[in-house]
Amino acid sequence: MNKDNSNEYDIHDELVNLVTRLKPVIEALRALIGQADDAVATRLITLLAILMPR
């Protein structure tokens, strides 16, 4: 494996680890959004959709 491929795999692994660690946080935020009033929930869901597309 050359250096460029190794670096790409390292970056990929770091991204996978980051997303894995953030998943509980995202789920907790979604739970809080569910408890918010409709206007606030709509705004937060829109913000999450922009920041963390599925």
Q: What is the pLDDT of residues 8-54, one digit of tens each?
A: 889 999 999 999 999 999 999 888 877 777 778 788 788 888 888 66
pLDDT number for residue 20: 93
Letter string b/e over residues 39-51, b meaning 16 or more CB atoms within 10 A of that residue's CB: eeeeebeeeeeee
d(CA 54, CA 38): 22
pLDDT number for residue 54: 66
Residue 7 binned pLDDT confidence (cut-offs 50, 70, 90): confident
The full set of domain ranges for the chain reads 22-54
